[in-house]
Amino acid sequence: MARIWLAGDTHGEVDLDKVTEYFDDLILYDEVTKEDYLIILGDVGVCWDGGAGDAFVQECLHNLPCTVLFIDGNHENFDLLEQYPEEEWHGGNVQYIQEDIIHLMRGQVYEIGGRRFFTFGGGNSIDRMMRTTGISWWPEEMPSDIEYSEGLRNLEHVGNHVDYILTHTCPEHVAEQLVPIMYPGEEPLQQYLEEISKSVDFDTWYFGHWHMDEEVEGRYICLWNEIVELEE
């Protein structure tokens, strides 16, 4: 069975070291192959400047011993990302950035390493006023009605049962327990995820976004600096 690791936001070059250092220090590193997977939970920055920065990040991820999968966060260049064609992979739609760097798209269900995952990226930038549209901010950071509907339809197709849910932000009731101040703008997405949390049978929900390593109610896990390997 494939080994699968999960990591929080890497923000291009800024927080990439936690990933590269983890695998440098990994016991039995030589046993990891491209048939194993690291999944990054948004704000990856694989597609950000279209230039040297992207090339450096992609080279670092390509040099990892495993294949890198990622969902999108709110800090992505969606103009660049949408240039990659959609393809089918392990039951859901993806975009290949490189052969071993793959974007897991919103509202998809995948069978990976004998486990079923539902993915839904996106989030709201609380620093929106400090960013420039089309350069450092894109309205596509928040999902569309089409993406919301596709997610529900794909979940219904698998009987509303998955092993893991992977998102960038989290359900509303989880966010309320994590942060003392709720920033406006993300409510539609949090409420959508809240409904999924009530209607879908799942084991564990992993997300990033909030820059903390915390666990809520035993099965909602926010990742930031910690990297988690899923049990077989």
Q: For 20-30, what is each residue's pLDDT tens digit?
A: 999 999 988 88
The tokens of 96 are what? Answer: 């290949």
Contact 220, 167 (CB under 8 A): no
Predicted pLDDT of residue 170: 97
Torsion sign across C-alpha atoms 169, 174, 180, 181: positive
Closest CA to 93 of 178, 150, 136: 150
**Helix 145-157 × helix 187-199 angle, to 10°:** 10
Which H or E run includes 190?
helix 187-199
Which structural domain, as residue segments, surrounds residue 104? 4-229
Instruction: Render pLDDT for 46-104 as a digit per residue (tens, 0 to 9).
Output: 999 999 999 999 999 999 999 999 999 999 999 999 999 999 999 999 999 999 999 99
- Sequence-separated (6 or more) residues with CB below 8 Å from residue 140: 78, 82
The tokens of 8 are what? Answer: 């929080």
CA pair distance 92, 105, nearest whole angstrom: 8
- Pairing assessment for the beta strands 4-7 and 108-112 based on DSSP bridges: unpaired
The type of residue at 198 is K
Instruction: Render pLDDT for 110-130 as a digit per residue (tens, 0 to 9).
Output: 999 999 999 999 999 999 889
pLDDT exceeds cutoff 80 at 182: no
pLDDT exceeds cutoff 90 at 107: yes
pLDDT band at 184 (very low <50, low <70, confident <90, very high): confident
Predicted pLDDT of residue 166: 99
Predicted pLDDT of residue 121: 98
User: How many domains in the chain?
Assistant: 1
Closest CA to 116 of 194, 42, 203: 203
CA pair distance 204, 184, nearest whole angstrom: 26
Task: Give me the mean pLDDT over the 32-38 stretch.
Answer: 98
Predicted pLDDT of residue 79: 97
CA pair distance 146, 178, nearest whole angstrom: 29
Q: What percent of the chain has pLDDT over 70?
A: 100
Predicted pLDDT of residue 181: 75
Q: Residue 9: which CATH number?
A: 3.60.21
Predicted pLDDT of residue 29: 85
